[in-house]
Amino acid sequence: MKIISSIDELRDQLRGQLRTAFVPTMGNLHEGHLSLMRLARKHGDPVVASIFVNRLQFGPNEDFDKYPRTFQADVEKLEKEGVYVLFAPTEKDLYPEPQEFRVRPPDDLGNTLEGEFRPGFFAGVTTVVVKLFSCVGPRVAVFGKKDYQQLMIVRNMSRQFALPTEIIAAETYRAEDGLALSSRNMYLSAEERAEAPALFRTLNEVANEVRSGQLDIFNLEKKAMTKLVERGWKPDYISIRKRVDLQPPSAGDLAQGEPLVVLAAAKLGVTRLIDNLEI
């Protein structure tokens, strides 16, 4: 595997490649990321991964400095997956001057759910994703459904800008007890780790109620939030949305069987976990 930090060198290395499959990451790789690499391999060749902890998507009180950086271990995992190039720019490589041009998602999609609790987050994501796409020139790029809203925003962005990159969605990779794998799980204490699968269980309960015809979604959301609070969580939201645009469904949407997804974000101790489930 070639490890490249400079944009010019990366472009030289990938010149002429028409079927590159790309997986952008912030490192601290776990099985979930590796499943994205395997899916990428099915959709293109060569597979290119990136590791870059993107300052633009962290709020002032978030964990940018503390974000786990495990470069050597990540390299070994990617080598085993047969990744051809790892693009690992420094901040100076990717942002040699202040990144004043930004890509901003539309308000209805970018300022709801995660966007409401992490202002500026999605503009940070879309800006770096466009820049990484511009460096790598991928034919396809793989994003996990674990970050459901991110996946939808990146997909809409790619479509609206007519980027030549098809966005492939990967299923969420879960531990046996249902907890979605995430780099931030490592902040959980042993006791919190034992409690953490309650988030996915709660999403399943909500989804099952909807499937069995309980359509008072306001009450379902409230009940689920209360349950988590009683178990010691601090939920930001549990929200049933339309899959197509992540907006709240109307009574008509519900009556017509509009495809839905339930999304949640909640803090357990100092760790903020997010998860979702298509209904």
Q: Which residues bind ligand PAF (CB under 6 A)?
A: 24-26, 54, 57, 125, 128-129, 147, 150
Q: How far is the CB of 22 from ligand PAF (least distance, A)?
A: 10
Instruction: Give catalytic residues, as residue numbers.
Output: 33
Q: How far is the CB of 23 from ligand PAF (least distance, A)?
A: 9
For residues 174 and 227, which CB has a smaller minimum distance to ligand PAF in the complex?
A: 174
Q: How far is the CB of 272 from ligand PAF (least distance, A)?
A: 14
Dist. CA 235–CA 135, nearest whole Å: 38
User: How many CA atoms does the CB half-sphere of 265 hold within 13 Å?
Assistant: 15
Tokens linked to 30:
């776990």
User: How many CA atoms does the CB half-sphere of 64 hold within 13 Å?
Assistant: 13
For residues 25 and 202, which CB has a smaller minimum distance to ligand PAF in the complex?
A: 25
Q: Read off φ and ψ for residue 186, nearest 5 degrees.
A: -70, -15
Tokens linked to 143:
């994003």
For residues 125 and 261, which CB has a smaller minimum distance to ligand PAF in the complex?
A: 125
Q: How far is the CB of 52 from ligand PAF (least distance, A)?
A: 6
> Mapping DSSP to helix (H, G, I), strand (E, B) and coil, where does residue 213 land?
coil
For residues 54 and 276, which CB has a smaller minimum distance to ligand PAF in the complex?
A: 54
> Mapping DSSP to helix (H, G, I), strand (E, B) and coil, where does residue 246 land?
coil
